[in-house]
Structure 1
Amino acid sequence: MPGPDTARPATQPLPDSEALVGLLDTLRHHSVRELRLALPRRPYERRVREQAALLSAELVRRGAQVRVLHLEDVSRDPAYADDTRRIAASGAWMRAVPHLPVWMAVADRDFAIVPSDPGLEDACATLVRGRTVVGAYQELFDQVWARSAGPAGPAGPGSDGLDEREREALVLLAEGLTDEGISRRTGLSVRTIRRTVAGVMTRMGARSRFQAGVEAARRQWI
């Protein structure tokens, strides 16, 4: 059997989102130890993200490690924000980045799912096998992961150390409310809300309000 440096890659086209979603669904029934996922953003990929949330939940339940890179700024994309929180709540390890070089899903070192052409506005993707090529995508993911922001530990229920004010602020923050909106909802001053939110963000290592909401969901605090 050829070693990793001489293994020849094999590719399989995934011509539309239906094929891509179907492949992700089959992964739920296979033995996967580690999944690396760079979460796509474009609107046609909504079903892909929804399937990724189901896949993440199943793999985490079976004890696999799931690491997810997602975009930091999603203020104008509520669907992406919702899908990211759903994946975080499944127990995946999450990190935020300002830009994704390419979306991908890499299962162990067995295969990778990547865009056929990252510049195209359609759902064409390619399944790539071959340890050398798949290893290159793993390395790219790991390099971006190492430079990204946010805690990476696995989530789980337990004591979160939050007081009632902090938990309420996090819930409303995850709903997308501004400090002023949280202030009106809770009856607390804007200054108090800003201090509360800043303190919770510092404890979680979050660099943005959205990341704080994602991290709170990942830790099952809300």
Structure 2
Amino acid sequence: MQPLTGSEALVTLLDALRRRTVRELRLALPGKPYDRGVLQQAAQLSAELVRRGAQVRVLHVTDASRDRAYAEGTRRIAASGARMRELPYLPVWMAVADRDFAIVQSDPGLEGADATLLRGRTLVGVHRALFDQVWARSGGPGPAAPAEREPLDEREREALVLLAEGLTDEGISRRTGLSVRTIRRTIAGVMTRMGAQSRFQAGAEAARRQWI
């Protein structure tokens, strides 16, 4: 594992991927935390890889109307020929190239958290499997599935909604008046009940069930 500090490091690394032989690229692009330069580099990378015959799949946020840069970036990626699926909520940014290279957030619950470069089939394989699971459940275009019964109490529902708005644990704590420890325990409890192994999976599953 290799820590990456700041958006510039991510831009450099995504640019380096354009010079590698990449057959498959998986991108999960929530609206935050990385800046416009990262999104632009992701669009350029997608265009280059598709041109070379690689498969590019992208998960993105459904309603990006309040962020013009994000909306424009995802439009450019779609225009490159990448396969796109959307979800109401994506809590984790990731880029997974083939079976042995991945960039993920070090701590999705911490604002401004660094990213981490992962190498090796074991670590990368976990994120490949997670992406593929969420991709399959998103189902692509079409009518939304009926809402499943919502076994959430008021605190859990509020925490998920604020998490979906992009707030960190600290931000949710300030908004609700609950301690950061309580917020983390609440989110962890929801993850356990849904069988989710990460916030990414929990957020995607909660959106699929129309709980948020």
TM-score, with structure 1 as normaliser: 0.61
Of residues 45, 48, 70, the one that matches 1:58 is: 48
Partner of 1:70: 60
Q: Which amino acid aligns with 2:10?
A: L
RMSD value, Cα: 1.4
Residues 169-201 of structure 1 show CA distances to partners (whole Å, capped at 9, x for unaligned) of xxxxxxxxxxxxxxxxxxxxxxxxxxxxxxxxx
Bigger relative contact order (CA 8 A; separation at least 6): 1
Determine if contact 1:40/1:49 at 8 Å carries over to the other structure.
no
Q: Provide the C-alpha distance between the structure 2 equivalents of 1:53 and 1:44, rounded to a whole number of angstroms.
A: 14
Larger radius of gyration: 1
Q: Provide the C-alpha distance between the structure 2 equivalents of 1:45 and 1:32, rounded to a whole number of angstroms.
A: 24
1:49 paired with 2:31, answer no
Partner of 2:137: 147
Determine if contact 1:44/1:123 at 8 Å carries over to the other structure.
no
Q: Provide the C-alpha distance between the structure 2 equivalents of 1:149 and 1:88, rounded to a whole number of angstroms.
A: 17
Of residues 81, 99, 106, the one that matches 1:116 is: 106
Partner of 2:96: 106
Partner of 2:77: 87
Partner of 1:18: 8
4+ residue stretches of structure 1 with deviation over 6 A? none
SS in 2 for 1:117: coil
Residues 93-143 of structure 1 show CA distances to partners (whole Å, capped at 9, x for unaligned) of 000011114210000001110011112222611001121111110011011
How far off is 1:14 after superposition? 0.6
TM-score, with structure 2 as normaliser: 0.64
Residues 29-74 of structure 1 show CA distances to partners (whole Å, capped at 9, x for unaligned) of 1000000000131264221111000000000000000000000111
Determine if contact 2:30/2:91 at 8 Å carries over to the other structure.
no
1:96 paired with 2:82, answer no
Q: Provide the C-alpha distance between the structure 2 equivalents of 1:78 and 1:43, rounded to a whole number of angstroms.
A: 15
Structure-to-structure mapping, 1:18-37, within 5 angstroms: 18-37=8-27
SS in 2 for 1:37: strand
Determine if contact 1:106/1:137 at 8 Å carries over to the other structure.
yes
SS in 2 for 1:52: helix
Of residues 128, 131, 134, the one that matches 1:138 is: 128
How far off is 1:91 after superposition? 0.6
Q: Provide the C-alpha distance between the structure 2 equivalents of 1:43 and 1:103, rounded to a whole number of angstroms.
A: 8
Partner of 1:155: none
**Structure 2 segments unaligned to the other structure (5+ residues):** 142-212
**Structure 1 segments unaligned to the other structure (5+ residues):** 1-10, 152-222
Q: Number of paired residues?
A: 141
